[in-house]
Amino acid sequence: MGLRDILNEEIIDLSLKGTTKDEVLHELAGHLHSAGYIADVEEFVKDIYVREEEGITGMGNHIAIPHGKSSSVTRIGIAIGRTENEIEWESYDGQPVNLIFLFCVSDDSDFARNHMMLLAELAGKLGNDARVEMLQKVETKESLIEVLTSEEVEAAENSVADAEEFDESLISF
């Protein structure tokens, strides 16, 4: 199971209203609940906070990937939200966030196995600066899914890196 398999427009919101971490987590959990991914919003959010206490989920570049395992989860997914204004969030670069990828993972071991692979796949995709810039600008849920899963964005980023490497090698002569 890969990212493309679990991304769902029903749980993407490009105009989150929340202005705090708690409001955003509750808003995204509400979308998960409405779409049948979780049975209980409060239990799910409580379980996310348990994981938040273990370490930072703000990966930098105005992105956070909160996650945790919850018995409230009935279906694996990733709720994605973007806020108009940046909100305070513990992050590796000390900057606030506005793009949140909330993992919805059951504490059942069958679900949990995929959790780490999906998290690694997403983190790898979000390590691409060109992709992140595009995600910050997309206007539709469909576009967000396409940018997030497209291999062309990675190819373009690699071409730019190759060109920069080439230029640097010319300068070193």
Q: The domain spanning residue 47 has which CATH number?
A: 3.40.930.10
Give the total number of structural domains in the chain. Answer: 1
SS3 120: helix
Higher pLDDT, 155 or 74: 74
Comparing CA positions, the residue from 56, 52, 90, 57 lying closest to residue 70 is 52
Residue 110 tokens read as: 């069958």
- Overall average pLDDT of the 86-90 stretch: 96
pLDDT category of residue 109 using cuts at 50, 70 and 90: low
Residue 130 tokens read as: 């060109």
102 neighbors 79 (Cβ within 8 angstroms): yes
Lowest mean pLDDT among 56-60, 67-71, 162-166: 162-166
Give residue 11's domain range: 3-171
Higher pLDDT, 96 or 114: 96
Residue 151 tokens read as: 């291999």
Residue 173 tokens read as: 């002569």
56 neighbors 62 (Cβ within 8 angstroms): no
pLDDT digits (tens, 9 = 90+) for 157-171: 443 444 334 333 332
pTM of the model: 0.85
Terminal Cα-to-Cα distance of the chain (whole angstroms)? 48
31 neighbors 11 (Cβ within 8 angstroms): yes
* CA angle in degrees (0–180, nearest 5) for 32-129-131: 50
pLDDT digits (tens, 9 = 90+) for 28-41: 999 999 999 999 99
* CA angle in degrees (0–180, nearest 5) for 28-30-32: 75
Comparing CA positions, the residue from 102, 77, 105, 76 lying closest to residue 89 is 102
Residues present in the chain in total:
173
Lowest mean pLDDT among 1-15, 63-77, 152-166: 152-166
- Overall average pLDDT of the 42-66 stretch: 94
What pLDDT shows up at residue 153?
63
Sign of CA dihedral 40, 46, 52, 54: negative
